[in-house]
Amino acid sequence: MARNLEQLQRQYNKKATAERMGGGPRGPRIAGGGKMKNSRKTIARMLSYLSPYKFRLIAVLVCMLCSTVTSLFGSYMLAPVINRLTVFVTGHEMEGMSAMEAVADRIISAFSGQTETGDPRTDALGFILWAIAILAVIYGIGIISTYLQARLMLTISQGSIEKIRNDLFTKLQRLPVRFFDRNPTGEIMSRFTNDIDNIDVMINNSLTSLFSGTVTLIGTFIFMITTNWILTIVTIVFIPIFALGGGAIGKLSSRYYSGQQAALGAVNGYTEETVTGQKVIKVFNHEKTCVEEFDELNDDMRNKQFKAQFWGGVMGPIMGNTSQISYGVTIGIGGILMVFGSLTPGALTLFAQYSRQFSMPINMISQQMTTLFAALAGAERVFEVMDTPPEEPSAPDALKDQIQGEVVLKDVSFGYDPDKTVLKHISLYAHPGQKIAFVGSTGAGKTTVTNLLNRFYDIEEGEITIDGKNIKDFDRDWLRENIAMVLQDTHLFTGTVKDNIRYGRLDATDEEIVAAAKTASAHSFIMRLEKGYDTVLEGDGANLSQGQRQLLNIARAAVSKAPILVLDEATSSVDTRTERHIEHGMDRLMKNRTTFVIAHRLSTVRNSNAIMVLEQGEIIERGDHDQLLEMKGRYYELYTGVKELD
């Protein structure tokens, strides 16, 4: 049976690594959704990314104003044309002409008056032709302004999104390991894809529409009130209806869009996990279960998307129908005013157009709320990652001394959770060049020791020293440069074999790379590849066997000059024959390095200087291979598979 929805969402929005971390780390976690915390702060922060483009934004605003004014004034030029035609048809002089109508009439007359012939028909035609020519110039200026506005806004939006994406990626590089242990990959990736895409759409389209709508609204109001103040008041009466309706729907949309983004993150996390784990799923015939679980997550996302899209989409029709009512009432009252002679036909036609145009910016702004709420929800999720506390920076005077490899743990205790101790009063030492092995049951805390050595996590009690100096006194980057690791989980990057080995030390020469590959017994299989060391690996080295990928990881560590080496199940993915070759190479590799080995395959730790047997976070036995066998304790049981009878 598929797990219930609450369990699935909790798992994929609050993921934690458990087994290999000795019980599982608990740390910073990005939120799974819900109501937006502070929309104003989020908006202000998004706008801060636009500040480097303030001069371009001013230019956009100027273009926007120019486009709006030309559109409004172009419409105004129609009023005198209609009035002239009315006079020509009726033969009566026009009364009730507004000041703006008179200005527009004089502008056209200034051009057409130069060619008056005395014939009313010819003069009317000339007036209309000159009006068309003036309108062509006005609208041409508007077209150019709109083009420049769109071009400038595109450069602003793309530059801002690039900065946001860079800041997010840079922040990820500074976050502690426990953050990635706590959050699924799909959930983090959704920040780079869906969330940032929503912000991009908002900046490029919605922001422009909001500004343009506001400018158009103000400009239309000015032209309306200069045309007829009575009809302007009638139109304004409907504004509270727009505001109350839009505000109520907006609150619902905001809440549902936050839930939609969280549900999308859960779906992405589950999809990423099942795609990478397809072999395991097929081996245990869990396809049906996966489909059921995905169906639950997908159905939940559909429900939340439906509510978000419904309340976002219903705003436009509601506002549109309300504007139609406003339009009808305005025209009715305008007709009455025209009958009593206080409004010209041209002014009524013009005001009818402005009345509809007055509601258009409101509708446009309301329709952009859908995109705006999606962008705000996405931006809050992006900024939440950016605000996650990073690893504490090293002090300016942190040590960068040459490390020899003398490692000492003194009474170290540690737990990923405050209420669950993983390591209990661990004490051990390793002299330079020694090989120290950790063995024990799964979850005993073996990997935790090496995590503490690298300062992936900081200890709560006790002290870890290298060359007699507390590791907290070392510069963190310097410390990690001096500790090479080969993990059980292999990871290769897209690039050539040579590039992947060089990842261990970027200034390594080609000769050093070949030597490292020979040390790891990887040279022979590399030379059998199509292009040898220049073979391009993709998909985490999908065209290599698991053992070959591990050999490249070992070669990567071999090329490093780090004096301390950590091998976490480094040979668990290779066959016995390859393991023997690796052991000879590893002996050469470890000759002048302090090495910590974690192994379940006890044959790989027999030649260790000291073997630590851990159980439930405590060292219960220590000694070399022969000494531990003579004790016939836990190590004896693990090595021989025989339990001594009391």
**Residue 29 predicted with pLDDT over 60:** no
Note the pLDDT of residue 185: 79
Band (147; pLDDT cuts 50, 70, 90): very high
Measured CA to CA, the distance from residue 14 to residue 23 in angstroms comes to: 15
Give 3's Cβ-side CA count (13 Å radius). 13
Residue 474 or 38, more confident: 474
Measured CA to CA, the distance from residue 279 to residue 69 in angstroms comes to: 64
How many percent of the chain have pLDDT more than 70? 78
**Residue 283 predicted with pLDDT over 60:** yes
What's the whole-number mean pLDDT along residues 604-618?
A: 88
Measured CA to CA, the distance from residue 60 to residue 146 in angstroms comes to: 9
- Alpha helix locations (H) across 545-594? 546-559, 576-589
Q: In sequence order, what are the residues at sequence separation of 6 or more whose Cβ sits closer than 8 angstroms to the Cβ of residue 575? A: 547
Measured CA to CA, the distance from residue 587 to residue 607 in angstroms comes to: 10
What's the whole-number mean pLDDT along residues 605-628?
A: 90
Instruction: Locate CATH 1.20.1560.10 in the chain.
Output: 5-16+52-386
Note the pLDDT of residue 643: 56
Beta bridge partners of 461: 413
Q: Distances in Å between the alpha carbon of 300 and those of 213, 228, 249, 308, 488?
A: 35, 53, 22, 12, 36
**Residue 269 predicted with pLDDT over 80:** no
CB 320 within 8 A of CB 360: no
Packing angle of the helix pair 287-313, 5-13 (nearest 10 deg): 90
What's the whole-number mean pLDDT along residues 171-200?
A: 86
Note the pLDDT of residue 162: 92
**Residue 408 predicted with pLDDT over 80:** yes
pLDDT tens-digit map of 458-480:
887 899 999 999 999 999 989 98
Band (55; pLDDT cuts 50, 70, 90): very high
CB 182 within 8 A of CB 25: yes
Return the CATH number of 407-640, one of 3.30.43.10, 3.40.190.10, 3.20.20.140, 3.40.50.300: 3.40.50.300
For tokens 């206080």, the residue is 342
For tokens 């041209």, the residue is 346
Q: What is the mean pLDDT of the chain?
A: 79
- Flag the least confident range among 11-25, 357-371, 504-518: 11-25
Band (496; pLDDT cuts 50, 70, 90): very high
Q: In sequence order, what are the residues at sequence separation of 6 or more whose Cβ sits closer than 8 angstroms to the Cβ of residue 420? A: 23
Note the pLDDT of residue 243: 63
User: From the CB of residue 59, how many other CB atoms can be counted at a distance below 10 Å?
Assistant: 16
CB 23 within 8 A of CB 422: yes
What's the whole-number mean pLDDT along residues 1-20?
A: 47
Note the pLDDT of residue 19: 33
Instruction: Locate CATH 3.40.50.300 in the chain.
Output: 407-640
Band (133; pLDDT cuts 50, 70, 90): confident
Q: In sequence order, what are the residues at sequence separation of 6 or more whose Cβ sits closer than 8 angstroms to the Cβ of residue 43? A: 376
pLDDT tens-digit map of 224-256:
787 777 888 887 777 776 666 666 666 666 667
Note the pLDDT of residue 230: 82
Note the pLDDT of residue 88: 62
Residue 112 or 468, more confident: 468
Band (209; pLDDT cuts 50, 70, 90): confident
Band (353; pLDDT cuts 50, 70, 90): confident
Return the CATH number of 5-16+52-386, one of 3.30.470.30, 1.20.1560.10, 1.10.600.10, 3.40.50.300: 1.20.1560.10
Note the pLDDT of residue 205: 79
Measured CA to CA, the distance from residue 472 to residue 395 in angstroms comes to: 10
Instruction: Please calculate the CA angle 110-115-121 and round it to the nearest 5 degrees.
Output: 105
- Flag the least confident range among 83-92, 123-132, 250-259, 345-354: 83-92
How many percent of the chain have pLDDT more than 90? 20
Residue 284 or 16, more confident: 284
Note the pLDDT of residue 386: 93
Six token digits for residue 599: 């192994």
What's the whole-number mean pLDDT along residues 158-183?
A: 90
Band (621; pLDDT cuts 50, 70, 90): very high
Give me the phi and psi of 619, to 5 degrees please.
-85, 110
